[in-house]
Structure 1
Amino acid sequence: MNSSTEAGDLITRTLTASADDAPHGDTLLADVHHRLRRRRRVRAAGTGVLACTAVAATITGVGVVRDGPVPAAAPSASLPAADPVLESAAKGWHWESYDTVQVQVPDSWVDSGYTHLWSCGPAFASREARARTPLVGRPFPAIVPAIGCPAVPSPDRRAPHLWFGDRDRKPGVTRYDHGWIEEVRIVGGVTLSVFGTDHALLERILDSARPTGGTDVFGCPTSPPAVLAKGRRPAGPGLTEVGEVSSVQLCGYTPSTSYGPGELLAGGVLAGNEARQLAEALRGAPAGSGPDNEYLCKMAALRDELVITVRGSTGEQPVVVRYQGCANGIDDGRTMRQVTGAALLPVLRKLYTQQASPMILEGQPR
């Protein structure tokens, strides 16, 4: 680049060209193929940089005050056990898990994806962020320009949040204008970053964090189970033989690839009517496989896989759901079924984001 003007022109042209092919409207981030939460990202540095194969890069803030490191919090006290969650959260709060850490957040904090572009302005922010809804974000792995963004948006565009897994963040406290503060800790080997104006609330969130110890509070193993290995199928009686459904365990994973071993993206549990409705949708999906998407076949490193365990009065049945590749389907070890919106969306919206909009459901009933 010969000048900052040329750099700016290139950025503008690139973003304009990308926008022509990008999803539109309020579901921008969700519509970028729903690939909302893997931390395997190629990082780039520098303001105004555009990467041809660009993936999210984290830009460090300038002109802020950074205090000394904040020590990791001690594990929170145990709470009374409750079925089907292994440990209850405090009243009005709920658990979120990612990789090898779990943490409690207020019920008003909603799941979303994140990328460093959240601070570039409303065009790049999720609908929840634009509405200033408090967020819980897992890393956003989709292809995005590596553009230098400000450390935070302007005050009227900021949203309180908890970010998981941003390894570019360093432990400590950063103060911004208008009373906003970010605190970063590493718990269970995972970086946690909280941002907001209620300092006591942020401390409480971080103080609740602790390592998963191999299994999160929803019963999800932190490493992908063997049933996700190539050629493996679930064992059990089949979805039609579990009796009256009481709960459904939801576990999302990145698959193991040449980039590294797979990891837990999120865990969750459905109970009561929600569990029964999901089980019916899984059982009622048409026999067969698919739908598949040729584009997703080329994006193995950006996939996630689901292990759903349906528990009933006469037994339980693990189910593997694949929806981000070219061998998609619902597999209970007895019958292969096609992925439907009724069977997939309740899971994605519980684990990840209410704006989930996977490519394979385009044109299907939601």
Structure 2
Amino acid sequence: MDATEDLIVESLSKHAVDAPSDEHLLSTVHHHLRRRRTGRTIGAAVLACAAVATAITASHSLTGELRTDPQVARPGTPESGWHWESYKTAQVQVPDSWTQYISGPAPCTTFGNAALPTIGRFNDWLGKSSYTCEDAVLPLGRRAPYLWFNDVQAPGTKQYDAGWTEETRLVGGTKISVLTQDDALRRRILDSARPITGTDYYGCSPTDLGPRGTGLNAKDTITSANICEYWHGSLVSGSRLAAKPAGAFAQRVNASPEGPQPARFEGCRQPDQRTYVVTLHGREKSYPVWLIADYCTVDHSFPTDDGTTQRRADAITLDLIRQGVHHPNQPSDLFDPAGPLTPSPR
């Protein structure tokens, strides 16, 4: 089996094991919600306890010059060995070896591998007044380069020990912070940053424009797809999907039962609910499909819309696109910690 088939089999097994019986469905959901709240409380406590006070004093110099962002309708192909990352209104290139994603505040990589370069997003469903990282910089033994979107840093440069430097720029209204020990690498990353004035490299607009299109042609051969992920209409990330998983996604959407958005469990909350716009590229034309990752539906389906037909996809269909940058990256689910944490100045 290839990687796509392995993913479908793994997803089938996982969801088959997790599926509750009909008579215990509602109680299972309530129990699951209680467990998530408990898990988030524990996770927040772990994060707070894991913060190690550092004696390093950062020298902070604000950039006084105004910087004019280049106006580009859509950026070109990234340099060899690099790829584009997008968030809200900004896009930037990073090395292909940077593949660890964190949803949370810099520089904490509590739920990741601190030895790997990180791409972080301080997503808006994580309240900045109640969720923070108390380290200005991680200790040398746990420190690795990173690119971080939307962190609390003010634009400017901070110097740390052992030659490490963090620089933050405002690009298209979105903050981008880069920490490296290599000045040339840091400048190369930051100099590649562009505002999203039309669409990003993956065809994603900064805001979700809503379902449109002429329907998905089941007979067309899908050659690839672009994925745009949104939260409350704001761009979280973009990526490209190869032919195999893109074709599998199209087949599963086409095979999904038609119907309007399903009912939701009363009182169920999902502050980090995302919408995925998957533009399937066929030999004849392209087909945008909207999918809402709503875990509060009573039938455990995920509503889709291709501009003409609404369907109810299953969790396996969603799993096909929630890979890489779109995978749920801890601590992205820690959106309601037990109590406010007092942010330390970074």
Please say if residues 254 and 264 of structure 1, whose CA atoms lie closer than 8 Å, have aligned partners that are also in contact: yes
- Equivalent pairs counted in the alignment come to 287
Give the Å deviation of 1:272. 2.7
**C-alpha separation between the residues in 2 aligned to 1:101 and 1:196?**
20
Alpha-carbon displacement from aligned partner over 1:53-90 (angstroms, at most 9, x marks no partner) = xxxxxx99972112341757777899xxxxxx962100
Alpha-carbon displacement from aligned partner over 1:289-338 (angstroms, at most 9, x marks no partner) = 788874884345x3221111112123322211011354532222454433
Counterpart mapping for 1:93-112 below 5 A: 93-112=82-101
Please say if residues 106 and 148 of structure 2, whose CA atoms lie closer than 8 Å, have aligned partners that are also in contact: no
Does 1:344 find its partner at 2:342? no
- Quote the residue 1:65 is aligned against: 59
Residue identity in the other structure for 2:237:
A
User: CA 1:173–1:215 in structure 2 vs 1: closer, same or farther (change >3 Å)?
Assistant: same
Please say if residues 135 and 162 of structure 1, whose CA atoms lie closer than 8 Å, have aligned partners that are also in contact: yes
Give the Å deviation of 1:357. 11
Counterpart mapping for 1:153-168 below 5 A: 153-166=138-151, 168=152
Give the Å deviation of 1:190. 0.8
What SS does structure 2 have at the residue aligned with 1:116? coil
Moved over 6 A (4+): 59-62, 72-78, 289-293, 356-359
Residue identity in the other structure for 2:226:
Q
- Quote the residue 2:231 is aligned against: 254
Indicate which of 22, 30, 39 corresponds to 2:39.
22
Residue identity in the other structure for 1:209:
A
**C-alpha separation between the residues in 2 aligned to 1:154 and 1:19?**
30
Structure 1 segments unaligned to the other structure (5+ residues): 1-17, 30-47, 51-58, 79-84, 228-233, 256-261, 360-366
Does 1:316 find its partner at 2:290? no
**C-alpha separation between the residues in 1 aligned to 2:311 and 2:146?**
37
Does 1:135 find its partner at 2:113? no
What SS does structure 1 have at the residue aligned with 2:313? coil
TM-score, normalised via structure 2 length:
0.69
Residue identity in the other structure for 1:164:
F
Give the Å deviation of 1:239. 4.5
User: CA 1:70–1:89 in structure 2 vs 1: closer, same or farther (change >3 Å)?
Assistant: farther
- Quote the residue 2:103 is aligned against: 114
User: CA 1:91–1:286 in structure 2 vs 1: closer, same or farther (change >3 Å)?
Assistant: same
Residue identity in the other structure for 1:252:
E
User: CA 1:239–1:23 in structure 2 vs 1: closer, same or farther (change >3 Å)?
Assistant: farther
Does 1:149 find its partner at 2:128? no
User: CA 1:223–1:354 in structure 2 vs 1: closer, same or farther (change >3 Å)?
Assistant: closer
What SS does structure 2 have at the residue aligned with 1:238? coil
- Quote the residue 1:211 is aligned against: 195
Q: Which one has more relative contact order, counting CA pairs under 8 Å at least 6 apart?
A: 2
Indicate which of 259, 263, 280 corresponds to 2:251.
280
Superposition RMSD on alpha carbons, in Å?
4.0
Alpha-carbon displacement from aligned partner over 1:271-293 (angstroms, at most 9, x marks no partner) = 33332233233334455578887
Alpha-carbon displacement from aligned partner over 1:36-67 (angstroms, at most 9, x marks no partner) = xxxxxxxxxxxx8x9xxxxxxxx999721123
**C-alpha separation between the residues in 1 aligned to 2:66 and 2:97?**
25
Q: Kindly, what percent of the aligned residue pairs are identical?
A: 30
